[in-house]
Amino acid sequence: MRHNFLITGASGFVGRSLCAELLRQGYAIRTAVRSEDARIDNVEQAIVGPIGGGTDWTDALRGVDVVIHLAARVHVMRETAGDPLAEFLEVNLHGTENLARQAAQAGVKRLVYVSSIKVNGEGCPHPLLLSHGERGERVYRESDAPNPQGPYAVSKWQAEQALHRVAKETGLEVVIVRPPLVYGPGVKGNFIKLLVAVDKGIPLPLASVRNKRSLIYLGNLVDALIACATHPTAAGQTYLVSDGEDISTPGLLRLLGAAMGHPARLLPCPPALLKLAGRLTGKTEQVERLLGSLRVDSGNIRRELGWVPPYTLRQGLRATGEWYRDVHGRN
């Protein structure tokens, strides 16, 4: 069965890649954009304006079978809103619930919601004491009690709960996907700062870090979203997704450097000293991202949907590093 898709947030990092892959596979798609400025060439679009509790989705939803909802107010480093939680809730909670209810009324069969691993929490849960006396790290799973911290994560968790209510009341099939950090060609935010540092040969005091982090390559996330949109078994499920291979921060930097042709310059430094420096400079959050672990168990989507990431972690990092080298890198 070939579905007609509506993609929100289509002009973003994930959205553009998702639209391209859906078109490649022969699906009919429409994009919901806030203004003409977000146009994607050769794709039907519906201008819906700002997303919130009052957005009119009538034209966008006409003839649609499946919605993949990517649009969101995302985490920002320098928050300027007087009431950040209210701003996040308006877009991520009220905007999502409003879309879901209108989708159900329009006869849409399924809505795939891209949430966040931040619903599970920040960093890894507390370590387990293993039977042989060693300490091991837990990984996040769908069965964990949610522990969202901060306005963005809280808004995503509340949106998930609202979608379950809509599904129960209307019969709309809802699938929730919680990805960790997404990387790939076109990536922005903190990840590109790492690429810049490696490319410029900046010495980084991270050689002594022994963390483990789960990531997901853009191409793998796109593939997982299409599986969640089309596989009958996915209805009503929540899935954590990742590349399936965890990596340390030094390992990540070394692979990116190799792809860019500029080996990462890593220096040894005790992590405790780096944490202290983070506290003294007010950059605790940024330092923790580099030092901390966050591991995801993506076994459920693999077992239930038969999903296998089409790209390995090494392939994804190589593609990302090569993209940066070709577009931004030094000669």
* CA angle in degrees (0–180, nearest 5) for 249-285-84: 135
For residue 272, CA distances in Å to 126, 222, 233, 279 come to 18, 37, 46, 11
Integer CA distances (angstroms), 208 to 43, 152, 281, 321, in order: 48, 31, 21, 23
Question: How far does the chain reach from its first CA to its final CA, in angstroms?
Answer: 48
74, 188 Cβ separation under 8 angstroms = no
Backbone angles phi and psi of 45, in degrees to 5: -135, 155
C-alpha–C-alpha distance, residues 47 and 35, integer Å: 6
Distance CA 148, CA 38 (A): 30
| Angle, vertex CA 107, rays to CA 225 and CA 53, nearest 5 | 75
> Which two three-digit tokens encode residue 132?
């042989």
DSSP 17-80: HHHHHHHHTT-EEEEEESSGGG--TTSEEEE--S-STT---HHHHTT-SEEEE---PPP-SS--
Residue 50 CA to residue 53 CA, distance in Å, equals: 10
Catalytic residue ranges: 152
Residue 178, helix vs strand vs coil: strand
| CA distance to 45, 135, 153, per residue, from 28 (Å) | 12, 50, 32
